[in-house]
Amino acid sequence: MKTRLVIIAILLLMLTVLLSRNDEHISDTLLGIINPLKQGYKNFTQSIEDKSHSYIFQKESIEKLSLENRILRKRLLQQIHYIEEVKNIYEVLPDLSHLPIQNISITETISYVKLNSFSQIILTKPKGLEENKLYGLIQNQVVGGIAKVKKNQLYGYLTSDEKCRFSVFIGKTKAPGIALGIEKNHMLVKFIPKWHKVEVGDLVVTSGLDAIFFADIPVGLVTKVEVQSSYTVAHIKTYSDIFHPKTFFLINDARARLTEGFDSNATKNVRRYSIPDINTEQNSSNIPAKDENVSIPSMPAISSIPSRIDQTQDDVVEPEEKNETIVLPEVMKKVKRVKKYQLDRSALDLF
């Protein structure tokens, strides 16, 4: 260790002595050796510095571009979702003209309730829905299921779910029953009276009597009929598509409201026809025929009813005895004159 230090010290001393001398040859030689080393060192340090700055700049650029990329991807996903919603709405918008849109809302599927179940879904909640009330879901003009609000969340039960139940009519005879969800594209209609004839191929529609659906919305077709002890059971194949629950029409209120709050006193332009008086020929002659467009003026109905009507012949209705001079036709007068002449002649022959 000491020997190395001594050697280094001697070399430094010799170098100092050589540099202190004004010999140009030695100075040029030393500079020719030292300058390349210094230039190489400088280039090395500069490259390291450039690389460090480049790395830092690239890192900042990458972070900035990554943030912009995330923002753009978020906007892209939003636009894709918006385009899909618009596409779904445009697919069903032409059907709105066939439905009473005052009582209908549009709802979209958010997700499934369970990942391993395709019969229950979570829907967007329209305004004004009541808690624990059943609402009908229409999918492409057919029954798609029912919906119910629980804990401020709208749950949908498709036709394949056992919680989906509503009233239906079957066939031309309108056999009543209750449809129950069983499985994929399969429902049961129970409690059908045995005296109704239900056949395979009959159309199943909603009855509208349960305040869930409107009447005559298609549900499916009968595929099998079973007669049990007290009622008939029908197996039906549904029309709904349970694997693509995108957009639904939600029936807010299916009750019949056309005659609600009807007031006969407030009704306008109502004609009241009175019974004509059958005692007068003038009134009977003024009654228009069925095909004549003649409006009968309104009058109190009670005042025109006769006081008494007996079941007599058509030509005899309460005849009144009147002291009137009867004018006989000329033929009857001639007959009476002949009879009178004959009577007078016979009376003369007796004498």
DSSP structure string for 289-331: PTTS--PPPP--TTTTS-S------TT-SS-----------HH
Between 96 and 325, name the one with better pLDDT: 96
pLDDT at 335: 47
First to last CA, the chain: 211
Tell me which architecture the domain covering 101-251 has in CATH: Beta Barrel (2.40)
Query: Count of H helices and E strands in the chain?
Result: 4, 12
pLDDT at 260: 67
3-state secondary structure of 107: strand
- Inform me whether the pLDDT recorded for 111 exceeds 60: yes
Task: For residue 192, give the nearest of 159, 131, 236, 155 by alpha carbon.
Answer: 236
Between 67 and 256, name the one with better pLDDT: 67
Show the beta-strand stretches assigned E in 184-311: 186-192, 203-206, 218-227, 232-238, 247-251
Rounded Cα–Cα distance for residues 235 and 222 (Å): 6
Rounded Cα–Cα distance for residues 181 and 165 (Å): 7
Which helix (H) or strand (E) covers residue 170, if one does? strand 165-170
Rounded Cα–Cα distance for residues 132 and 66 (Å): 47
Q: 88: Cβ–Cβ under 8 A, 6 or more apart, which residues?
A: 108, 246, 247
Between 97 and 102, name the one with better pLDDT: 102
Cβ count near 295 (within 10 Å): 8
pLDDT band at 31 (very low <50, low <70, confident <90, very high): low
- Considering 14-23, 55-64, 232-241, 291-300, the range whose residues carry the highest mean pLDDT is 232-241
Rounded Cα–Cα distance for residues 288 and 342 (Å): 53
Between 19 and 343, name the one with better pLDDT: 19
Percent of the chain predicted with pLDDT > 90:
31
Cβ count near 87 (within 10 Å): 11
Between 7 and 345, name the one with better pLDDT: 7
CB 228 within 8 A of CB 187: no
Tell me, yes or no, if the pTM score tops 0.85: no
- Inform me whether the pLDDT recorded for 122 exceeds 90: yes
Rounded Cα–Cα distance for residues 27 and 138 (Å): 100
Tokens 């991807």 correspond to 73
Rounded Cα–Cα distance for residues 192 and 13 (Å): 121
Each domain of the chain, given as residue ranges in start order, spans: 32-98, 101-251
Q: 337: Cβ–Cβ under 8 A, 6 or more apart, which residues?
A: none
Q: 106: Cβ–Cβ under 8 A, 6 or more apart, which residues?
A: 89, 92, 126, 247, 248, 249, 250
pLDDT band at 325 (very low <50, low <70, confident <90, very high): low
